Amino acid sequence: MYGAAVAVEDEVSRFHREALVVDLHNDLLTKLVLRGGDLSRRHGAQALYNPLAFDIDVPKLQEGGVDALGCLLFAGMGLMARRRFWKQLEEFERLFEKHPQLVRARSAAELRRAKADGKVALFLGIEGALAVEDDPGALEKLAAAGVRFFGICWNKTNKAGVSSFDKKNGGGLSALGRELVAECNRLGIMVDVSHASKRTFWDLVEASKTPVFSSHSGCEAKKAHPRNLDDEQLRAVAKKGGVVGIIFAANFLGGLFGATVETICDHIEHVVDVAGEDAVALGSDFDGFVPLPRGMRDVRDLPRITQILWRRGFGEARLKKLLGENFLRYFEGFN
C-alpha cells in the first residue's frame, strides 16, 4: 500500500523546512475523541490501511516539516454527534497543555510567529453545520473559542445546505444556511465550500461577502468524484481571491489502487493550470478515515510533494505559495 516511495534530495529537504508549510484540513480531533492516543510518541505506518491509525503525531509533524494545521471540529453522524463535537473542542484545548511544541493560532500573523519560534500552529475549523444548525448563536461562541473557518456541508445534507453526495436533491443553500454565512461574514470566519453540492457551492459564492475557499477537495477534470471541483468552480474560487486545498484521499485522486503521491501533484498542477498559481494549497484530510495514495504514508511524507514538484519544474516562489503562502495571503484578509 505504501509503495511509490520518493527520495527527497538534501537541497529540497532544506528548502521545504525553510518554507512555511500549512495543511488546511485534518480530523485529528475526531480521532482523539473516538480512540484516544498519545501524540508525543511516533506512531508507525501500517502495512495495510487502518482507519484508526494516526497520520499525525508530534514527531512526524516535525519530520514532515509542517508549521501549521487546520484542525476540524466535526459533527456529522450518529446519535452522539453533537456531544462528540464539543468534546473535540475540549480535546483541542488539552493539546496545548500536553504538548509544548504546539500553539494555538487565530491569525496569519500568529502562524508566522509560530514558525519563527519553532512551534507548530493549530487553527480551528468546523466541518458540517449539524452541531450549530439548531443554534446559530453557537457560531459566535465558537468564534470566541478560536474557530476561523466553517464548512456548511459534510457527506449528508443538513438543514443548512445540500451535500455533494446527495445527487437526488436539487436544492442548495437554505435560508438557515444563508443566515450562517452572514454570521460567518460578520464574525470574520472563512467560508469553506468543501462537501457542497454544485448548487450549494454557487449559492455560497453568491451569498458570502468575503471570498470562499475549499479546505480539502480534488479536481474533477483529473478524477470524476462528487467531492471534486470542476474547472469553473476552481476559477470561481480563484477569481474571488480564495484557495483550494488539494486533498490526499486516494479515492478522490485516482482510485484506491491507482493513486500515488505523484497523483496529488497532478491535481496541484491542474489547479495552477486552470486557476493560477495563487489559488492552490495543501488540504490533506490526514486522520480523516480515508486511505492515502501510495507513497504517502502519513504527514512525515509531505516533503515528497515538494520533491516531485521541484523535479517537475516548480520554482521556489511557486512552491512557497503552494506550501503555505497562498493560504496565508487569503487568511490575512480575515485578521
pLDDT value of residue 141? 94
Amino acid residing at 244: V
Tens of pLDDT along the chain (335 residues) come to: 455 689 999 999 999 999 999 999 999 999 999 999 999 999 877 767 888 899 999 999 999 999 999 999 997 766 567 788 999 999 999 999 999 999 999 999 999 999 999 999 999 999 999 888 888 789 999 999 999 999 999 999 999 999 999 987 888 999 999 999 999 999 999 999 999 999 999 999 999 999 999 999 999 999 999 999 999 999 999 999 999 999 999 999 999 999 999 999 999 999 999 999 999 999 999 999 999 999 999 999 999 999 999 999 999 999 999 999 999 999 999 97
Q: 25 near 70, Cβ under 8 Å? A: yes
Cα 209 from Cα 58, distance rounded (Å): 37
CATH class for the domain made up of 10-332: alpha beta
Strands (E), the chain: 22-26, 68-74, 102-104, 120-127, 147-151, 190-192, 212-217, 244-246, 280-282
Grid cell at residue 276: 493560477
Give the C-alpha distances (Å, rounded to integers) separating 159 from 74, 180, 281: 16, 11, 29
Q: At what angle do helices 231-239 and 198-207 cross, to 10 degrees?
A: 10
Judge whether 201 and 227 are in contact, CB under 8 Å.
no
Angstrom distance (rounded) from CA 239 to CA 288: 29
Q: SS3 for 120?
A: strand
Which among 183, 181, 185 is positioned nearest to 193, based on CA atoms?
Answer: 181
- Residue 48 and residue 232: Cα distance in Å, rounded? 37
Distance CA 199, CA 277 (A): 26
Residue 1 confidence (pLDDT):
45
pLDDT value at residue 9: 98
Amino acid residing at 23: D
